[in-house]
Amino acid sequence: MLEVEGLWCVRITPEAGTVKAKEARIVPLHQHVLDQGFLGVVKAVGDGPLFYDPEKQRVASESNRHFKKVGERLASWVRGEVGITDPALQPNHAWRHTFKTLSYEAGIEERVVDAIQGHAPKTTGRTYGKVPVRAMADAVAKLPRFEVPGT
């Protein structure tokens, strides 16, 4: 978690798990995430991964990476508790598709969406320049809030 130009962002890194293009990137957070107390969660965790504890990994091997096990438990919760039962949907990965759809509905430029998601530019011309954090934050702000019961 870091603050860039007065905007709260997360740094997504390859060390945390599979990352598109195997490169770290900075992604601004939606205000709704901040309103729900995400900064407090980050402060409570301290340094290191936010969503899993590397100390809890029982077997050190590529096929048994702890972050993968956490993802499997999250997927199980989404299927069992949330009720997403369609076997064609991968619950965790489906958020990337949902983000893309909502971005198009909000009229966000495709290059900005790709920068947020870490997708490679489609043309040589799109490799020129960099999408600024402010442009990504403005795009993220156009996305709707998800109403979550109990928050």
List the domain boundaries for the chain. 2-141
pLDDT at 5: 94
As a 3-state breakdown, the chain gives helix, strand, coil percent values, each rounded to 5, of 50, 10, 40
- Residue corresponding to tokens 């969660």: 41
Structure tokens at 139: 């795009």
What pLDDT does 149 receive?
65
**pTM > 0.75: yes or no:** yes
- Please tell me which residue, 46 or 27, carries the higher pLDDT value: 27
- pLDDT at residue 94 above 70? yes
The chain-wide mean pLDDT, for the chain, equals: 85
User: Do 24 and 43 touch, CB atoms closer than 8 A?
Assistant: no
CB 12 within 8 A of CB 25: yes
Cβ(148)–Cβ(40) under 8 Å?
A: no
Instruction: Indicate if the pLDDT at residue 64 is higher than 60.
Output: no
Q: What is the mean pLDDT of residues 43-70?
A: 73
Band (pLDDT 50/70/90 cuts) for residue 138 is: very high
What pLDDT, on a 0 to 100 scale, did the predictor assign at position 35?
Answer: 93
Question: How does pLDDT run across 97-126, given as a tens digit for each residue?
Answer: 889 999 999 999 999 999 999 998 888 988
Confidence band, pLDDT 50/70/90 cuts, at residue 40: very high
Could you give the 3-state DSSP secondary structure of residue 139? helix
Cross-strand partners of 25:
12
Contacts of 15 (CB under 8 A, 6+ apart): none
Angle of the 110-117 helix axis to the 94-105 helix axis, nearest 10: 160
Q: What is the spatial distance between Cα 33 and Cα 38, in angstroms, rounded to a whole number?
A: 6
Chain mean position to CA 129? 23
Q: Cα–chain-centroid distance for residue 111? A: 17
